[in-house]
Amino acid sequence: MSQGIEFNRLMLDMRAMQMDAMAQPKSVAPAPELGQSNFADMLGQAINKVSDTQQASSQLATAFEIGKSGVDLTDVMVASQKASVSFQALTQVRNKLVQAYQDIMQMPV
């Protein structure tokens, strides 16, 4: 029950920060140079890669289940474990980001 309350508080804090950011005047930030990517782009690419790994694992498992030739059980299991490990790693990154956000929000101003 307390996790639901903490999540709601977190969402309210994020919305309040969004409203504060939207109320501030826009400043012109320098454009990133070619070859550089920002954190949001890198995180999005990581999420997409995890999603692709999970989809490939699912497709391989389905192909094995319907009896397609050339699909080996060991390949299915390796793909499944890769998808599982990549998802667990992404979950840990998310947990660290949430913890960092909570630490920042608890800092005295």
Asked if residue 90 lies in contact with residue 50, where contact means CB atoms within 8 angstroms, the answer is yes
Above 80 in pLDDT, residue 9? no
Domain extent at residue 48: 38-108
pLDDT at 1: 46
Inter-CA distances, 95 with 4, 22, 48, 64, 84, Å: 16, 26, 18, 34, 16
Structure tokens at 106: 């608890």
DSSP H or E stretch at residue 52: helix 39-65
Residue 48 lies in a domain: yes
CA–CA separation, 6 vs 14, rounded Å? Answer: 12
Is residue 85 assigned to a domain? yes
Name the pTM for this structure: 0.61
In a domain, 68, yes or no: yes
User: In this predicted model, what pLDDT tens digit does every residue of 44-102 receive, in sequence order?
Assistant: 999 999 999 999 999 999 999 999 988 999 999 999 999 999 999 999 999 999 999 99
In a domain, residue 76? The reply is yes
Count structural domains, the chain. 1
Residue 73 lies in a domain: yes
3-state helix, strand, coil in the chain (%, to 5): 75, 0, 25
φ and ψ at residue 43, rounded to 5 degrees: -65, -40
